Structure 1
Amino acid sequence: MPHDRPACRCVICHDYGDRAEADRLDLRTVEQVEEHGWNVVMVPADDEGPGFAYTIGLWHTHGTPELAMFGLELQTMHVLLNSLGRKAAAGAVLESGMECHGVIEERSVILKAADLRWYREFFGLAISYYRRPPFPVLQVVWPDADGRFLWQPGTKEQYQQSQPQLWLKPAEHPAGVWTELATG
């Protein structure tokens, strides 16, 4: 059941008159949100960078931020995002800086608010669904094999390049594949 906040301008809450023109992916997103409360969009790795996945519909259905993950296997991220989505649907509050336990086996993940300047590059389908930002997105940051996070000393270069740091402004982000995407 959709929330009653007037800020939601998604294609379900507002008739933009163009649903007949929507492409198959847009229609599937609407169907998934109406049936399950959210959809997980999976973007495979390619020559430009690692794969990633994000939700659409958590903000509409549950009033909780959308979630995004980067750098793991697509199906793994799909399962993890759905797991966190179910927690939100059950009433868990998800917010920036929060550490969530038991999402990846016995390891924690940390949620970080994504800066709006990254949205166009990574969340185009969500922008199409909501028609415009702002809708909140939390990046689900996973630890390396030793339990360290991107910002902690001792992490390896390969791990650091596996996930962007979307909580940083693009101009403040360490150079690498993610900044190349944002400026490319």
Structure 2
Amino acid sequence: MHRRYPSALHALFTLVTTEHEHSFLSLYLHNPLLGPTLLVHTLRPLLHHAAPLLIERVLSVSRSEAPALYALSIFAVNTLGAVILMPVETVRKRLQVQTRGGARELPTCVAVGRNYTGFGDCLRRVVMEEGGRRSVRSGGKHGSGSSRSGRPRASSWGGDGWGVQGLYRGFGTQIVLNAATALLGLVNGLPTEDDW
């Protein structure tokens, strides 16, 4: 464990004096972080609270009359929300962990990109540097994923370095979570003997 701060107050003081230009407000209003943070914390509750209204009023699917279709609709809306929010959250987290000012870097357990200049730069670099190039090896001396020179060939799902896989890390887990939520909502919404 790499302990840099002995207490929370020391951490706050150190962050303000070394990384945030001696301004307490810059902790909250730091330009690259403000946009993605507002977007995430606005869209997530909006999607959460608007989903039932959208399904019942726009799609005309009632929870009591068609519980399976309602659960499927909840799954679809939650998945659409994940498709929209995951890239923004990924960029926001990347911007949060990079050091600013004269602060020294903390060692991390996973590789983290550094020196992002803002939301657009981080988004572009994740797509360009982390998406796409994958080595697919199967049978044979060289395998189907490598060329004769031994270098991995770009796979068909990512192209030559272009890809959004870096923005959607954990998307499969999110889909499973959405499916479990929809299934639990379906089981909870089924009519019982008392409803008949």
TM-score range, shorter chain: under 0.3
- Write 1 or 2 for the structure with the bigger share of strand: 1
Q: Which has the higher contact order (CA 8 A, sep 6+)?
A: 2
Superposition TM-score, scaled by structure 2 size: 0.24
- Write 1 or 2 for the structure with the bigger share of helix: 2
